Amino acid sequence: MTMEEQTLEGWYDNRGKQQCLDRILGKLGEQALPGASDVEQYFRNLYRRNVSTQTLKTAFTAIQSFQVFLKNCGKFDLRSLTPEDLEAFVESQQDRGLKPLSVKNNLRQVQTFLRYLIAGGIVSSGVLARPIRIKVPDALPRAMDPLDVKRLLSVTQNVRDRAMILVLLRTGMRIGELLRTRVSDVHLEERKILLWVGEKNRTGRVVYLSEDACKALRAWERKRDGGKALLFHAQGRSSMGYTAARTLLGKYLKKANLSHKGYSLHCLRHTCATELLNAGMRLECLQQLLGHSTVEQTRRYARLSDKTREEEYFRAMARIEGRKSDERDGAPGEIPTLSEETQLLEPYHQELHEHAAALPSVAARTG
């Protein structure tokens, strides 16, 4: 990516972020909700900190629901907030039927907002005095079955679509990252793609291309419109949206008779992570490839298959049994003969004899 392209992309990113902020401030002005002026200042602060557009949207959804809750409770002054108010908000979210993860995420956004108010002396620190911990079920990552992957690829004959699906499957990229990838970011000779800014953590990274992904990209390279800057684009357009990409995958899942399995674009990322882990890649390396900020995220993201656990168990057990057999005089699994047993026990018998000789006789003890 040239300096000019980076500047242009940054301009578009900032423009979209500014438009998002304007919409948020507009909604705050339209609704008479508690703490509107404080919320406005908070979002201006987030914008100055250069958080992503998605972070602005997520934070607004959570904080607006908190404002609506306070309004329904007749509480319009944020300065009078108590720990009980926060606990009641969580219960109201649960009563609405929100999933535990959604409740937890909303609570985290509201708590971050309250910390901002505490730092500004607007709200008492006692509001967050009682920790609220929400247990979230440890859901297994939704990776595709290997046979289903083969079935999906077998029906994906369109050059562009096959390249998209293979790149997602082999790199673990997020769909948003792939849709923003430029032709200049792809280095087929070196078999890698440069991601300048991460979808979530705003950090750049490098992902690598398998042989089949490179082959699919070369085929797409020969057919794509060379005048388009983005790697993937819809017909007659300069880009492709998330909805179009989701529809694309849905079409092939239906063609492969896999619609009932609930696979999504993000499942391709889980599939890549799980396959790499089961192939023996270390978690630290996988973490870097996926763009996770912590190994814990990666550990939750990919799981060892039953087959891998089985192989690891028997490999470890073979080492244990091998060590035990090395420690024995006889061959592994061989039962010592009577003469061998006598020889093995002879030192023990000798030690008992010496110990008994050292003890006083019964006559001496009773005399």
Summarised one tens digit per residue, pLDDT across range 162-207 is 999 999 999 999 999 999 999 999 999 999 999 976 545 455 899 9
Q: Quick one: what percent of the chain has pLDDT higher than 70? A: 81
Mean pLDDT across the chain, nearest whole number? 85
Neighbours of 128 (CB within 10 A): 16
Q: Which of 92, 80, 95, 96 is nearest to 34 (CA)?
A: 80
Q: Which two tokens stand for residue 80?
A: 């009078």
3-state secondary structure of 282: coil
Burial code of 201-213, b = ≥16 C-beta within 10 A, e = fewer?
eeeebebebeeeb
Burial of 298 (0-12, 13-18, 19+ CB in 10 A): buried
> Does residue 262 have a pLDDT over 50?
yes
Neighbours of 344 (CB within 10 A): 12
pLDDT for 264-300, tens place per residue?
999 999 999 999 988 889 989 999 999 988 888 888 7
> Does residue 347 have a pLDDT over 80?
no
Angle at 101 between CA 14 and CA 282, to 5 degrees: 80
> Does residue 22 have a pLDDT over 90?
yes
**pLDDT at residue 216, as a whole number:** 98
**pLDDT at residue 7, as a whole number:** 44
- Measured N-to-C along each axis, helices 36-48 and 100-119 cross at an angle, to the nearest 10 degrees, of 90
Q: Which of 264, 246, 226 is nearest to 179 (CA)?
A: 246
Neighbours of 230 (CB within 10 A): 17
**pLDDT at residue 306, as a whole number:** 75
**From CA 132, how far away is CA 288, in angstroms rounded?**
31
Mean pLDDT of 58-78: 94
Instruction: Using alpha carbons, list the distances in angstroms from residue 245 to 92, 161, 165.
Output: 36, 9, 10
Mean pLDDT of 53-67: 95
**Contact in structure between 265 and 175 (CB atoms under 8 Å):** yes
Q: Write the DSSP string, 3-46.
A: HHHHHHHHHHHHHHHHHHHHHHHHHHHHS--TTHHHHHHHHHHH
Q: Which two tokens stand for residue 242?
A: 């998330």
> Does residue 57 have a pLDDT over 60?
yes
The CATH code belonging to domain 146-304 is: 1.10.443.10
User: Higher pLDDT residue, 329 or 194?
Assistant: 194
pLDDT tier, 4 (very low <50, low <70, confident <90, very high otherwise)? very low
Q: Quick one: what percent of the chain has pLDDT higher than 90? A: 62
**Contact in structure between 96 and 119 (CB atoms under 8 Å):** no
Maximum mean pLDDT: which of 67-71, 141-145, 238-242, 345-349: 67-71
Handedness of CA 87, 47, 25, 10 (dihedral sign): negative
Q: Which two tokens stand for residue 287?
A: 């973490």
The CATH code belonging to domain 3-128 is: 1.10.150
Q: Is 19 left (phi over 0), alpha (psi -120 to 50) or beta?
A: alpha
Window from 195-199, 224-228, 285-289, 319-323 with minimum mean pLDDT: 195-199
**From CA 147, how far away is CA 165, in angstroms rounded?**
15
Can you give the pTM of this predicted structure?
A: 0.64
**Contact in structure between 212 and 170 (CB atoms under 8 Å):** yes
Helices (H), the chain: 3-30, 36-48, 53-72, 83-95, 100-119, 146-155, 159-171, 175-180, 211-223, 242-255, 265-278, 283-290, 295-301, 306-327, 338-358, 362-366
What is the number of residues in the chain?
367
**pLDDT at residue 197, as a whole number:** 64
3-state secondary structure of 354: helix
Domain segments of the chain as ranges: 3-128, 146-304
**pLDDT at residue 220, as a whole number:** 97
**Contact in structure between 194 and 206 (CB atoms under 8 Å):** yes
Mean pLDDT of 241-268: 94
